Amino acid sequence: MLRIDRRAFNKLSVLALAGSRIPAFAQATTTAAQSPVGYAAIGLGAISDIFMRACANSKTAKITALVTGHPETKGKKYAAMYGIPETSIYTYETFDRIADDKAVDAVYVGLPNSMHREFTVRAARAGKHVLCEKPMAISSGECESMISACRNSNLLLMCAYRVHYDPTHLEAKRIVDSGALGQLQAFEGAFGFNAQPHQWRLTKQYGGGGSLMDVGIYPLNETRWLTNEEPSEFTAVAATRDHDSGRFAEVEQTLAWTMKFPSGIVASLSSTYGEDMPGFLRIHGDKGSLEITSAYSYQGVHLANLGGPTHIDLTTQREEPFQFKLEAEHFANCIRTGAEVRTPGEEGLHDLLAIESIYKAAGNPIA
């Protein structure tokens, strides 16, 4: 069993931002005196596509620039969809010119994991705030350099943890914090999907690790958030059954791990790239239990009690991409008003410290 020390986890605010839906691809305008916060989307893959659709539904966040390796195809396509001038289409090589783009207040980093650090640091040098997808980076050392780069430039850094903004997860947090479940005892959770071959996430170069980095991070992060503690002891087992497809030549197929927190709470979690594993999290206290199903989906998150005096049957009613809209608008509000970021860079750092400890316990160290 691996034992480590961990800095205390600071409790975060859990108030959700409300929002209304408008037709996709029509950038909303605001009647308020303040203009929307302008985001440059870095990397125009699937996750950035969702984020851009979210901003198109917002009055306080707007896509104002694009960064892509395919400026003539993807760049012009999305520029036309969102009314972005072609002069605000940047490549990875010309990205640093964004410093002179007054329409860009912040960047959204939707790149492969191993590219997060580089473009966060470059954005900070260009004077832009950073909203970075999870995992924040591929090592805790990279996370620390990202935090320092933004802090030294007096810029905000936020990690895109959707769970912290979804109203159903927020209700679970409220119930836990209220003491209705009594003293927390244990967590069970999992998340995974059947990864198709030839994806960047199946390579060490771009993914940094296997399913833990991509999907296992969801229950890992949520248990840390709900306990208000940092895990201090870890056990882990990595396994691969598919030796024929070549998908798992560089990363594990499945990972199962346990974490013990200083208070004595334990969590048993798992993740996989080998099968469609619907996300769930069970929260057990000595006075009752909760279960979150479809826990890490973009919509339809469901919360129910499994026992005890607290009765709840709640499903998130809003549709994709509303979670991304809540993230974009929260960060926009922080930029405009100086409000505290709920999921700052330190949150991403804590997850990477835990991930490194889990891989070490599994005998597959990544750092």
Residues labelled as active-site residues = 134, 218
Cα Rg for the chain, rounded, in angstroms?
20
> What number of other Cβ atoms are within 10 A of residue 365's Cβ?
10
CB 189, CB 269: distance < 8 Å: yes
> b/e string for 42-56 if b means 16 or more Cβ within 10 A?
bbbeebbbbbbbbbb
Calculate the CA 188 to chain-centre distance. Answer: 20
Cα distance between residue 111 and residue 92, in whole Å: 11
Is 65 exposed, middle or buried (CB count within 10 Å of its CB: 0-12, 13-18, 19+)?
buried
Buried b / exposed e across 263-292, counting CB within 10 Å, b at 16+? eebbbbbbbbbbeebebbbbbbbeebbbbb
Please list the alpha-helical segments (H only) found in 180-265.
204-207, 211, 217-227
**Ordered strands of the 266-272 beta sheet:** 2-3, 233-239, 254-260, 266-272, 184-194, 274-285, 288-293, 302-307, 313-315
Q: Say which amino acid occupies 364.
A: N
Q: Is 322 strand, coil or helix? A: helix
CA distance 315 to 169: 10
Q: How many CB atoms lie within 10 A of CB 251?
A: 25
- Rounded Cα gap, residues 287 and 297, in angstroms: 28
In angstroms, the CA 113 to CA 213 distance is 9
